[in-house]
Amino acid sequence: MDSEKIFSFVNKSDFQKNYRDLSWEGTFKQYVDMVLESPQIAQTAFQRLYEMIASYGYDTYTEYKKKITRWKFFDDPVDGGADAVYGLDVHLMKLVNIIKAGAYQYGPEKRVILLHGPVGSAKSTIVRLMKKGLERFSQTSQGALYSFKWINLKDILNMEDVLPCPMHEEPLHLIPLEHRMPVLSELNKNRHQDQNIYIEGELCPPCRYIFKRLLEHYSGDWAELTRKHIAVRRVTLSERDRIGIGTFQPKDEKNQDSTELTGDINYRKIAIYGSDSDPRAFNFDGEFNIANRGVIEFIEVLKLDVAFLYDLLTASQEHKIKPKKFAQTDIDLVIIGHTNEPEYRKLQNNEYMEALRDRTVKIDVPYITRLSQEVKIYQKGFNSRTVPNIHLAPHMLEMASMWAVLTRLEEPKKANLTLMQKLKLYNGKTSQHFTEDNIKELRKEAKREGMAGISPRYIQDKISNALIIDKGGGCINPFIVLNELGGGLKGHSLITDEETRKRYHELLGEVKKEYEDIVKHEVQRAISADESAIEKLCGNYIDNVKAYIQKEKIRNPYTGAEDEPDERLMRSIEEKIEIADNRKEDFRREIMNYIGALALEGKSFDFRMNERLHKALELKLFEDQKDTIKLTTLVSKVVDKETQAKIDIVKDRLIKNYGYCDICASDALSFVASIFARGDATKNERK
């Protein structure tokens, strides 16, 4: 590929058109006409943020009889899912509701939004998403916003000929305060509340200085002033360019002062303008100044020095900041901070910080407690595309996720419920003993669930370590990762007591038992995967059940004699799914009623239609076939050709149907063989 071809890609795109659109300039009158036609271009920061989130749409679903809104924006459509947030729909719904209320001017626009949760719970990711979203949204026609610059100043004011507003203000601020009411009445005529235009605040100090001087020059002719000296221009929000998006992070107290937030004197220009109180000799480039019209993020906000927190109070409640030697200056932005649990407890216990607590809206951002959502975090970073040379064995990410979620759950108060069962209920597994109301009650009684436990970062670090070491020789199975997770607990910096460390080790044991059941079931299904054999077994079972229910005899296909229904066969299948002897008749009638209902609809019964029966038939077939395969011979490594051929068929099924590779399929078979060998040894000991 040559350079000409690369240049042609840029030329063929809409680059130039986009550049022209994003660099639009016009008169103040043109801008007012645009506002009348499209009021959203004069939105407040809260309105624009809500409009941006809403522009990506939403889904609704019901969980525990409560309607949940899932905002698609948090799937990160801006960046192809790179910063997608999983498993926090309820908490994100609360956050968006606060932003929406702020857009409607119901009160939250005068608050600091505080994201509160444990380390690694996606607080920073949520804010990063919003900042990225606003950047992209401001480049669209729906999210366009405008500021202005002063022009033709040199001859009249003896200063630079062109001066952009340093705070990217809304051009409607040029309308004098005393004339805004009739203007707003006209602009908002026949508009719905969510489309209302608000003109809040006055010009920043340098713009106010220029405005007053020019007004004197034109003897109060405001129309002439705006016609000759105002050029409205489109602006795009950009964190890198420090336009509309600011980020503030606590530093060492000696190296930080409030000018970082509100701007500082430009000593070079004092020599030009003669005074440090001349607004032209001041840099209005603090984080509050540059974030005007957009959003400012406060990283670890509660670690800020008290002096900074006072600035935060005025900025949130009054929408004003106090630059050195100048009057309070208006700002329009969304203030979002995030903090962890210890810092928030410190705030609660500090009686001198009541004012800040009163101006804060807290949104909890806990760890995920739903297994399927936790898995998605790791699937994003560890998959066949990101890890092309090492195979990730089935259930590896699931088992790591299972352990992470278990560490975050509180022990259930119900005596008949284990922590693992609770995890499965949260993950959507149904149970005849637990209704939606029961699960809702479980969540209610565990008020701090998800606020402590193992962070996703720890899981990611240990999976990465397992991949680098590659003990599996090209395939990483669940045991390798679980051992890596357990091995790292000794040096885990956030585990401060032995009791917690011991509990986490015990939970690893629970996860290993769960994996043992899963892999055993998959090997069983692979061995009994002959569908024709299952169908034949099912037909035999149904014939016997039918004869049993109708109190008939069944014809023996080999002898031709009329025999009693084969109770031994029926019970050997039913016991596989724990149908008690006193429940067998109910289960059999249930099957026959279902078959009868299908027949009335002209449909035939298929064993796949009944999940429990399907599982029972598979387990029965496995039990009948496992001895012919002699799986336990794998433990001794002495396998005859005939058995090896059968084992190879099972391996192929594991690879084809369950996502195993040759390495982990062999590992799974050997592991399951060792389980059966232990079982056989135990039986012999009992004898």
- C-alpha closest to that of 506 among 407, 415, 418: 407
- How far is 318 from 312, CA to CA, in rounded Å? 10
| Candidate from 305-309, 427-431, 602-606, 677-681 with smallest mean pLDDT | 677-681
- How far is 456 from 401, CA to CA, in rounded Å? 8
Q: State residue 510's pLDDT score.
A: 96
> Phi/psi at 241 (nearest 5 deg)?
-85, 0
Which has the higher per-residue pLDDT, 643 or 475? 475
Block residue for tokens 């790791």? 378
Q: Helix, strand, or coil here: 573?
A: helix
Count the Cβ atoms, other than its own, within 10 Å of residue 559: 8
Which has the higher per-residue pLDDT, 436 or 107? 107
Percent of the chain with pLDDT over 70: 92
Q: Give 520-548 pLDDT, tens digit per residue.
A: 888 888 877 667 778 888 888 998 999 99
Residue 170 near residue 147 (C-beta atoms within 8 A): yes
With a cut of 60, say whether residue 1 has pLDDT above it: no
With a cut of 80, say whether residue 194 has pLDDT above it: no
- How far is 24 from 6, CA to CA, in rounded Å? 27
Q: Give 577-589 pLDDT, tens digit per residue.
A: 888 999 999 899 9
Q: Give 21-61 pLDDT, tens digit per residue.
A: 899 999 999 999 999 888 889 999 999 999 999 999 999 99
Alpha carbon distance, N-terminus to C-terminus of the chain: 76
With a cut of 80, say whether residue 305 has pLDDT above it: no
Q: pLDDT-based confidence at 213, cuts 50/70/90?
A: very high
Q: State residue 684's pLDDT score.
A: 44
Q: State residue 253's pLDDT score.
A: 63
- How far is 591 from 546, CA to CA, in rounded Å? 9
Strands 334-339 and 112-116: parallel
Which has the higher per-residue pLDDT, 441 or 406? 406
Residue 56 near residue 355 (C-beta atoms within 8 A): no
Block residue for tokens 């509160």? 116
Structure tokens at 413: 């108060």
With a cut of 70, say whether residue 686 has pLDDT above it: no
Percent of the chain with pLDDT over 90: 52
Q: State residue 309's pLDDT score.
A: 78
Q: pLDDT-based confidence at 13, cuts 50/70/90?
A: low
Residues 6+ apart with CB under 8 A from 501: 489, 490, 492, 495
With a cut of 60, say whether residue 246 has pLDDT above it: yes
- How far is 67 from 212, CA to CA, in rounded Å? 54
Q: Give 636-645 pLDDT, tens digit per residue.
A: 555 667 777 8
| Candidate from 9-13, 139-143, 439-443, 511-515 with smallest mean pLDDT | 9-13
Q: Name the DSSP class of 201.
A: S
- How far is 308 from 326, CA to CA, in rounded Å? 18
- How far is 210 from 218, CA to CA, in rounded Å? 12
Residues facing 392 on adjacent strands: 476
Q: Name the DSSP class of 582.
A: G
Residues facing 264 on adjacent strands: 283
Q: pLDDT-based confidence at 632, cuts 50/70/90?
A: low
Tell me the pLDDT of the chain averaged across its residues.
88
Q: State residue 226's pLDDT score.
A: 95
Angle at 455 between CA 76 and CA 312, to 5 degrees: 65
Q: pLDDT-based confidence at 6, cuts 50/70/90?
A: low
Q: pLDDT-based confidence at 683, cuts 50/70/90?
A: very low
- How far is 605 from 673, CA to CA, in rounded Å? 35
Question: Given its phi and psi angles, is residue 333 left (phi above 0), alpha (psi -120 to 50 degrees) or beta?
Answer: beta
Residue 111 near residue 360 (C-beta atoms within 8 A): yes
Count the Cβ atoms, other than its own, within 10 Å of residue 181: 10
Angle at 607 between CA 603 and CA 611, to 5 degrees: 115
Q: pLDDT-based confidence at 126, cuts 50/70/90?
A: very high
Query: Taking the model in full, what pTM does it have?
Result: 0.85
- How far is 513 from 524, CA to CA, in rounded Å? 16
Which has the higher per-residue pLDDT, 596 or 510? 510
CA distances to 40, 313, 490 from 101, in Å: 17, 19, 46
Q: State residue 681's pLDDT score.
A: 43
With a cut of 90, say whether residue 4 has pLDDT above it: no
With a cut of 90, say whether residue 410 has pLDDT above it: yes
DSSP class per residue in 314-359: HHHHTSEE--TTS--EE---EEEEEE-HHHHHHHHH-GGGHHHHHT
Residue 256 near residue 245 (C-beta atoms within 8 A): no
Residues 6+ apart with CB under 8 A from 170: 42, 146, 147, 199, 293, 332
Residue 237 near residue 293 (C-beta atoms within 8 A): yes
Q: State residue 634's pLDDT score.
A: 55
Block residue for tokens 């929000």? 237
Length of the chain: 687
pLDDT winner (highest mean) among 131-145, 191-205, 265-279, 352-366 = 131-145
DSSP class per residue in 166-186: TT---GGGGS-GGGHHHHHHH
pLDDT winner (highest mean) among 147-161, 335-349, 557-571 = 147-161
CA distances to 76, 224, 513, 573 from 84, in Å: 5, 50, 31, 45
Q: pLDDT-based confidence at 9, cuts 50/70/90?
A: low
Q: pLDDT-based confidence at 106, cuts 50/70/90?
A: very high
DSSP H or E stretch at residue 219:
none
Q: pLDDT-based confidence at 432, cuts 50/70/90?
A: low
Cα within 13 Å of Cα(157), Cβ side:
24
Structure tokens at 37: 């036609």
> Topology of 21-366 in CATH?
Rossmann fold (3.40.50)
Tell whether the torsion through CA atoms of 521, 526, 531 and 537 is positive or negative. Answer: negative
Q: State residue 603's pLDDT score.
A: 84
With a cut of 60, say whether residue 242 has pLDDT above it: yes
With a cut of 70, say whether residue 468 has pLDDT above it: yes
Q: Give 483-504 pLDDT, tens digit per residue.
A: 999 999 988 888 888 999 999 9
Residue 296 near residue 336 (C-beta atoms within 8 A): yes
Count the Cβ atoms, other than its own, within 10 Å of residue 520: 16
Which has the higher per-residue pLDDT, 367 or 433? 367
Q: State residue 338's pLDDT score.
A: 93
